[in-house]
Amino acid sequence: MKYLRRLLSFFASRLIAFTAVVALLILAFYLAMNTANIYVLLGDGMKLRASVILTREGAEELPNFFADEFLTRDETLSIGLSNQSPYIDYKITSFNYELSMEWMWSWPWEDRAQAVIVERVPRIVGSVLSEKKDLVKEGTLSANPPAWYGGRYAVTLVRAGGQWKIAGLTLRQMIVEPTETPSASPTPAPAPAP
């Protein structure tokens, strides 16, 4: 009887250890899967949002990345699509977009996630619309598009129907990109003194 108890105790302890390891592996798998899905969603969704604000094109794709409630109350997007947009007088041809995720957490069994991201648009390439060129000559409009106001954001995401969507965006710190100034033509360096 003594040996049977030891044998059962041995198998029970190994079974508990095996179950714990499998549970940790499953938890790690779902955490990694959620992290990857959220990172891709944030990168693609926030870049599309910036593109819509800059070019006023592609707004019909936003519901693929953002919750409807967020889209109706996003003040930056509303201004970007209105006549008050700082980019309305420009034809934006390209821009550099950078997004980094500083932190993210989502339990596998929950349908909410939190993240902290840093969004930047360090370079915007565009020109003044032809009907606005007189304003540039008068000095009331810059020849270059205005700088982007990026920042560090706290993001709330929700999962509905198996798909993650951005449901909240709270600015924690604003990052103002420097504006590009046209460089003067290069001048030759003076010759060294004899």
pLDDT in tens, 92-135: 999 999 999 999 988 888 899 999 999 999 999 999 988 888 88
pLDDT in tens, 61-91: 999 999 999 999 999 999 999 999 999 999 9
Domain boundaries, the chain: 2-176
The whole-number pLDDT of residue 108 equals: 83
Q: Calculate the average pLDDT of the chain.
A: 87
Distance of CA 127 to the CA centre of its chain: 25
pLDDT surpasses 50 at 185: no
Reported as a pLDDT band with limits 50, 70 and 90, residue 39 is very high
Mean pLDDT of the 50-56 span: 94
What is the CATH number assigned to the segment(s) 2-176? 3.10.450.50
pTM of the model: 0.80
CA distance 74 to 59: 13
Which tokens sit at 127?
């020109």
Q: At which residue do the structure tokens 């000095």 appear? A: 139
